[in-house]
Structure 1
Amino acid sequence: MLHTASRPLTLIPLLFALLLSACSTPQNTTSPERSNAPTSAASSHNSAPGQAAIASAHPLATAAGMAVLEEGGNAFDAAIAVAASLGVVEPYSAGIGGGGFWLLYDAKAAQYRFIDAREMAPAAAHRDYYLNADGTVNRDKAVNGPTAAGIPGQAAAFAHISEHYGELPLKKTLRAAIHQARDGFPVDEHYRTLMGYRLEAIRRFPESARLFLDDNDIPAAGFNLQQPELAQTLSALAADGFDGFYTGSVAERLLQAVNSNGGEWTAADLAGYRVIEREPVHVRYGALEVISAPPPSSGGIAIVQMLNMLSHFDWKTMNAVDQTHLLTEVMRRAYRDRAEFLGDPDFVEVPVSELLSEARAQAWAESIDPVQATPSLDLAGPKNLNEGFHTTHLSVLDKDGNMVSATLSINLPFGSAFTAAGTGILLNNEMDDFSAKPGEPNAYGLVGNEANAIAPGKRPLSSMTPTIINSPQQSAILGTPGGSRIISMVFLGALEHLQGKAVEDWVSRPRFHHQYLPDVIQHEPGTFSDQQQVALTRMGHRLQAVGRQYGNMQAILWDKRKQQVTAASDPRGIGSASVSPAGK
């Protein structure tokens, strides 16, 4: 059980000056517990856009969603179609062998809902599940093969959202994905690059090698990749909903494949999986709302913490170096709290009220030296958490104002690399997002995160941060993949929006990241000039270029003043954004 906020947050008007003419006392409605009570929206949702938009990480998925909208489906139907398609054409990032978080806005009910479809540890898992006899962590068991997989939640999310929020049956919303799996899709260079990370692991498992390789090697660009068994599994899900995946013949084949290859799943593990509707992190600043992911995501709490700290500074007027320094220090402190306090709220107490309080924001703000970096070890927290770096995101808005921001994952590229024979289901390796050995000092002498220890039925902590920012003037839908960097990317994208930038600027902004430990500013090539790097180094920061661009943000902006909808897909990826003509 989580603590709810015991007093309102305060945030100075400066942060939202471009969006609000005045800022009254904000209210924090965060209550991320198991709950069936929806979060009501403010009165700023008082019109419909008259246009629809989808931004996703693959053109085929965006097209699938737009087709569902044209067939009379709503944003929730379209989001299912997009997600199902991504699971076929992006087998490296998402699929029904994984899970994710879905942030919904139901315009008719004027309510936000958060669908937790995160994977669950099987009943056989326990705190020391990945420890060898000598107490060391068995990384291979935690990363590769069925022992690394949690019970998938994606299929349950499709069934739940379709039943409770959609207008169309799964037979229609899954149709494009079924066709894509059966008939195939052309392999692109992005697929080839990500397969390069996991080629040897894929080769270890014959079923995966058969499906995702060509003669045991990375397929050439343009190769038509077919997944007929996955098409059959999706068809069973379309016909029978939850039972088509978690019971019956699909479940039997899943159990046979997992348990004959070292896994320890039971029929009860599958049949007992449930999505949880949780209250999102929902903070109001006057008429403006920030709505994001609650635990077991760490994203929403971290985003609000960073905004609260930032409110104590005149950050918009700072030069690039001083602003980078400040944003780094804000990230450092939010990630420090993330490492210590966050976990599955059904298993651990998460002190939400304390983390989001103005008192904590002020204390953290006062600890920031304006000209000198704070060594992370001085903050005396636990070591940070490692997460897989490849995920996917989709954003959807329909003409009636329904919204979806969903971040989905199987963790590392191609997940566990294990495909269950006869199902086409490529399993996740999300169990690696737990702390495999809590209490063990790391290289810095700091102790690991006990709140994220493995337990049967528990959901691992995540950074996935689907977010909606709403005001009487505008509504923004955004999110991105990227492991532990997701939070900092959404934070930087949100700041672009709060400064009145176009949606294209949110997704293309050069990125940097600090996650408390390791104590470095990670950044994309070209983010900082030589002079800026020298200045930041003199302030005590260590910089590390990651050698590549990262992230794949998908974003939509509904400008209610202009009655205009715009959308953008991150130029770093191969995705696409589409906006329907007005009135369609």
Structure 2
Amino acid sequence: MSLAMNWRAAALGLLLVAGGALAADGAPAKAASGHASTRAPGHAAIASANFHATEAGLEVLAMGGNAFDAAVAVAATLSIVEPESSGIGGGFMAVLHRASDGHNVFIDARETAPAAVDAQDYLNPDGSPNRDTALKGPLSAGIPGEPAGLVLIAKRYGRLPLKQSLAPAIRIAREGFEPDERLREAIAGMQKDLQRWPASTAKYLPGGKPPAAGVIWKDPDQARTLELIASHGDQGFYHGETAQKLVAAVRAAGGNWTLADLASYRAKERTPITVDYRGYRIVTAPPPSSGGVAIAEILNILSGYDLTKMDAATRTHYVIEAMRRAFRDHNDYLGDPDFVKMPLDMLLSPFYADGLRQSILPDRATPSSMLPRAEAVEPGMHTTHFSIIDADGNMAAVTSTVNYTMGSSFVAEGTGVLLNDEMDDFALVPNKPNVYGLLGSKANAPVGGKRMLSSMSPSIVIGADRTAVIGSPGGSTIITQVLEGILHFIDGESARQIAAHKRFHHQYLPDVVNVEAGVFDAAASDALTKMGYTLKSREPWGFMNVVTWDRKTNQLDAASDPRRPSGLGKVQ
């Protein structure tokens, strides 16, 4: 069982928890069966972005909780200690696997547009996108979905009452914690925006400046909000005291939320997307995530090639071309399935992939110039992901977000809740890029009650003998990071190797390949350039958290992304 870095360096976390072994009760699962195994690992693994969150998951497992209770604890704790990336003012998407019957389910806790949404609010007088209203302040915030999603998971899949699963997060908020370097830097970077709203200033800029290293930071307002959820479930957030405070704060600052918007919110269970590739079944996110559709489409295209027999440049060429075509379809077709009819049967069909494969030349890049151009900003890491496998073999892949760094920068007074800025993930102006450079069509246009499209791609990969739970933040790069992680896992690599791999990314427009330093050697870079690719170097990206289970040896392996400088490894 592999470990991450020394536990005293605390910013991101992973945890391996030992327990009593359980005997197998049947034959191993066949490849691509959708059921991870009839054997339980007898110990548990959690990989998350912060050691406080990992410890919260451990605490709940020790109480007798399962992976789903631990997921509630981890997510709620991240809302306290990692607000730059996620929180109860945002939303999440999760793929869950229940070991007892092999049931796989997707939990859609994506935010929704308020009923009074008006696309004109996101336009400048000249008709260009207004990036400020789309990304900052109450107009940028969708109705949060995370509280309802956590309640749904606890009620339908957990063993423990919410009061127990939320207890670690509430305690940390009450007693305080030391903000890590990532959080301090995020607050400093967004200081000017936070200063625009009194409650944001009071919470994140005590004394008028970001918290210093070593300071103990308490969050009593969010503790109170979590206590109401623990006691009353959905009613504790979407009705009563918290709902009234949220609506009052939003409307006082120029937003358009109503109590009815909150009261009508529902987290939803959906059927995951599944795709078979090289003897493995990938269980991943359906719309309103675009990630699972794109990953399935890419893998279907790649299934026509034997990548293992190719040199690095040729293999990369085919992967990039598959990415290019999947992102084109992402821009044109996808949206909220409750509002938009999407041709998923076509997009997920191996016959459609056959046709796309025929358009790929063996030695030349395919230009993306036939469709409207979009210039992307640097993809961000303003999301979080955690992966869990418990002692019974239950699994949770959860990706949670408030969208951009510190979300909307707007805290609703009296609640401690930092609101998301997910309205930017709608196609607020058709065929104009959002903050991640992704285009959108009318399929992703804003409508009251509608969920905005997402790139979140929590995934579970199930083979005859090995299983992985995987995901990452990264805006539009989430899709390609998870895809590359899946390919590395199927190639036999460990969790630590998968998380550490150098990365490349292509999203159709702009027509460039983002490359991390060292991802290709000189020969491969030269070959790709001669094929017609434009390679654009950029800083390392990603914050992947991976758990793997080798069922032949019954070994768990967990890893957090080494690009983030400190971590936690622990066995007990």
| AA at the equivalent of 1:555 | V
Report the alpha carbon displacement of residue 197 of structure 1 after superposing the two structures with TM.
Answer: 3.5
Cα distance between partner residues in 2 of 1:58 and 1:574: 12
Which residue does 1:394 correspond to in 2? Answer: 386
Q: What secondary structure is seen at the aligned counterpart in 2 of 1:215? A: helix
Residue number among 174, 177, 180 corresponding to 2:169 in the alignment:
177
Question: Which residue is 2:311 aligned to?
Answer: 319
**What is the aligned partner in structure 2 of residue 454 from structure 1?**
446
The Cα offsets for residues 118-162 of structure 1, whole Å up to 9 and x where unpaired, read as 000000014444123432222111110011000000111111111
SS in 2 for 1:376: coil
Structure-1 separation of matches of 2:176 and 2:340 = 44
Aligned to 1:264: 256
Q: Is residue 557 from structure 1 mapped to residue 548 from structure 2 by the alignment? A: yes
Aligned to 1:59: 51
Within the candidate set 532, 537, 561, 1:570 is matched to: 561
- Cα distance change, pair 574–63 in 1 and its aligned pair in 2 (3 A): farther
Q: Give the Å deviation of 1:224.
A: 1.9
- The two structures, once aligned, show a CA RMSD in angstroms of 2.3
State how far apart, in whole Å, the 1-side matches of 2:517 and 2:188 are: 21
C-alpha distance in 2 between matches for 1:461 and 1:126: 17
- Is the 2:251–2:257 Cα contact (8 Å) retained in structure 1? yes
Specify the code of the residue in structure 2 equivalent to 1:259. R
Opposite residue 369 of structure 2, the aligned amino acid is L
- Residue identity in the other structure for 2:448: P
Residue in 2 that maps onto 1:38: none
Residues 537-576 of structure 1 show CA distances to partners (whole Å, capped at 9, x for unaligned) of 2211111112x21111111111111111111111122575
* Aligned equivalents of 1:476, 1:575: Cα separation in 2: 23
Q: Is the 8 A contact 1:294 1:301 kept in 2?
A: yes
CA drift at 1:530: 4.0
Amino acid of the structure 2 residue aligned with 1:264: N
1:519 matched residue in structure 2: 511
**Structure 1 residue aligned with 2:427:** 435
Q: Aligned pair 1:425/2:389, yes or no?
A: no
Partner of 2:204: 212
Separation of aligned partners in 2, 1:440 and 1:218: 34
Counterparts in 2 of 1:43 and 1:423: CA distance versus 1, 3 Å: closer
Aligned partner letter, 1:521: V
- The 10-residue stretch of structure 1 (284-293 or 557-566) with the greater mean CA deviation from structure 2: 284-293
Q: CA deviation at 1:220?
A: 2.2
Counterpart secondary structure, 2:144: coil
Given residue 568 of structure 1, which amino acid in structure 2 is its aligned partner?
A
Change (3 A) 1:137 1:287: closer
Q: Which residue identity lines up with residue 230 of structure 2 in the other structure?
A: A
Tell whether the 8 Å contact from 2:372 to 2:431 is kept in structure 1 after alignment: no
Distance 1:441 1:149, change over 3 A: closer
Q: Report what 1:49 is aligned to.
A: 41
Taking the aligned partners of 2:189 and 2:441, their CA distance within structure 1 comes to 28
Mapping for residues 6-405 of structure 1, pairs under 5 Å: 42-284=34-276, 288-378=280-370, 380=371, 389-405=381-397
Which amino acid in 2 is paired with 1:310? L
Aligned partner of 2:506: which letter? H
SS, match of residue 244 in structure 1: helix
1:336 alignment partner, SS class? helix
Segments of structure 1 that go 5 or more residues without pairing to the other structure are 1-21, 27-40
- Residues in 2 aligned to 1:122 and 1:352: alpha-carbon distance in whole angstroms: 27
Aligned-partner SS, 1:330: helix
SS in 2 for 1:185: coil
Deviations 1:247-299 (A, max 9, x none): 01111111110000000011110011000100000234696321000000011
Moved more, 166-175 or 363-372: 363-372
Cα distance between partner residues in 1 of 2:275 and 2:522: 39
Would the aligned equivalents of 1:53 and 1:579 in 2 still touch at CA under 8 Å? no
1:482 to partner: Cα distance? 0.5
- Report the secondary structure of 1:415's partner residue: coil
Deviation for aligned residue 1:194 = 2.5
Alpha-carbon shift at residue 525 of structure 1 (Å):
2.5
Q: Distance in 1 between matches of 2:211 and 2:431?
A: 43
Contact 2:412/2:418 (8 A) holds in 1: yes
Counterpart Cα distance in 1 of 2:439 and 2:399? 30
* Bigger shift: residues 362-371 or 347-356: 362-371
Aligned length: 541
Flag the 1:307–1:287 CA change in 2: closer, same or farther, 3 A.
Answer: closer
CA separation of 1:23/1:474 partners in 2, compared to 1, >3 Å: closer, same or farther?
closer
Q: Contact conserved, 1:388 with 1:411, CA < 8 A, in 2?
A: no
Structure 2 gap segments, 5+ residues each: 1-28
Q: 1:373 to 1:126 in 2, by over 3 A?
A: same
Q: What is the match of residue 487 of structure 1?
A: 479
Q: Aligned partners of 1:284, 1:331: CA distance in 2, in Å?
A: 18
Could you give the per-residue CA deviations for residues 173-210 of structure 1, whole angstroms, max 9, x where no partner exists? 11111111122211222123323442211121221122
| In structure 2, distance between residues paired with 1:544 and 1:494 | 24
Q: Identity of aligned pairs, percent?
A: 47
Distance 2:206 2:314 in 1: 51
* Cα deviation, residue 216, structure 1: 2.3
**TM-score normalized by the length of structure 1:** 0.88
- Indicate how the Cα distance of structure 1 residues 565 and 257 shifts in structure 2: closer, same or farther if over 3 A, else same: same
Distance 2:506 2:340 in 1: 26
CA distance in 2, matches of 1:116, 1:374: 35
The CA deviation string for residues 408-438 of structure 1, in whole angstroms up to 9 with x for no partner, is 0000110000000000000000000001111
Report deviation, 1:512: 0.7
Q: CA deviation at 1:44?
A: 5.0
